[in-house]
Amino acid sequence: MAREVTEQDIIMIDEMVAKARKAAAVIETYDQETVDRLCRAIAAKLYDLKVWAELSDEAVDETGLGDKVTKRNKRNKLKLILRDCLRQKSVGIIEENPEKGLVKYAKPVGVIASLVPTTNPCLTPAGQILYAVKARDVIICSPHPRAKKVTMKCINIIRDVLVREGAPADIIQGIEEPSIALTQVLMQKCDLVIATGGRPMVKSAYSSGTPAYGSGAGNATVIVDETANTAEKVREAARNTRISKTSDFGSGCSCDGNLVVHESVYDEFVKALQEEGAYLANEEEAEKLKAVMWDAEGHRLPGTVAISAVKLAEAAGFSIPADRKFIAVTGGGINEIGKEYLFSSEKLTTLLALFKYEGEFENALDMMRKIFNVGGKGHSCGIYSWNDDHIHRLGLAAPVSRIMVRQPNNKGNAGSATNGMPPTSSMGCGTWGGNIVSENICLKHYMNTTWVARPIPEDMPSLTELFGEFYHDGMDEE
């Protein structure tokens, strides 16, 4: 049972917010050069492999989630965020449109409450502080209770950098003993909430009475169509699937969960997956996996989240070779997709489901729609196709905020050096996913803007131009 908030709790949060507002009064006076230098200093400290590797190891040790090796690769997100920060203005005039007579000025949003997920206990505060500093905001983090030690360690590293650079340490703070009750108090007293995590967390943020950005649940689904019909294309699709599925032991909501593969390339694709490290589970093993991944009501069991393929098999009661990196199960066809078919829901571990579609591409789209009716609407999907019409049709049909074409979902969704997506660790999923935005939460979401409008020559078409065939004499102005 969650503990109630005490008077001492409220005093503590009030003191943290007061410190934050004092720091905000300082950082909002900084010029562009100063905030850019701060961003560089913070990113440089955390990008140092010795620092980041230690945080990655401690995150896995404390939470029991993820993979120490691939978690280290997440530091590359800091490079991307810093790149985008340095390329944009965030102080004074940030945009001008002489034709419309508009000038836009950037202003801080103020004090941000950040709800940090257990799966990214360091990357989330690290990436958010870069955007916050760039926008001249301050942040108070509420770590996940299972990751509070490593999150606070990351926060304190950043605070040391701020002090070294002559900035207030309280530009970032963290709740040392977090709880749901404390987080709710914090959200009510800040100016903006950024909630990165599951739907209950996001719902709580939206009901706090404070403006909020949230992220949605994933169930990443990738279509492989008949144009992946050469050995090279099949290998590329399989390699990228392995990269996406195995990153941090599949803990991310962008990691591939469902593969919808055309019958003409299905067998070759499965072989390529096995060459990339997949273990193809048989029917008996698949049933054992279901038993340890979901309870009788279909709720995901925590003990098998974000663990290695070998440990996942052990938990299910069978063994696989030590070199196997992920497990694949045969999901079947369109008739084996639905809430009662658990493998078509989000996995959050080193397991993916293979579905086969026959005939026309529309059949793949039907399966994709049916999968997202199980879960993951608004988040993401992908496609391995060299047919622009197929890519276009998926773009029209998919109820998601982002579609990756011929690239690993988990690398591409949140921004990479080889696509134009804004880098982030928080992905809005639109009204599909219960969120207010259907885009990556990035610098523009950390800023208020003031629009200055100067007069321009009158811009109003004639009535006949406006109303076209619906124009009639009675519309004429007196």
What is the DSSP pairing of strand 258-262 with strand 221-224? parallel
Residue 31 CA from chain centroid, whole number: 30
Q: Which two tokens stand for residue 311?
A: 């440990």
Contact 174, 143 (CB under 8 A): yes
Contact 424, 398 (CB under 8 A): no
For 387, counting Cβ atoms within 10 Å of its Cβ (0-12 exposed, 13-18 middle, 19+ buried), the class is middle
Sheet holding 92-97, edge to edge: 92-97, 102-108, 447-453
Residues 390 and 141: their CA atoms lie apart, in Å, by 42
Contact 393, 361 (CB under 8 A): yes
Contact 281, 291 (CB under 8 A): no
Residues 54 and 100: their CA atoms lie apart, in Å, by 51
Half-sphere exposure of 293 (CA within 13 A, CB side): 26
Query: What CA–CA distances, in Å, run from 5 to 142, 209, 323, 469, 473?
Result: 15, 18, 49, 64, 68
Contact 293, 352 (CB under 8 A): no
First to last CA, the chain: 70
**Cα dihedral 117→131→436→180 (10° resolution):** 30
Residues 355 and 428: their CA atoms lie apart, in Å, by 27
Residues annotated as catalytic are: 253
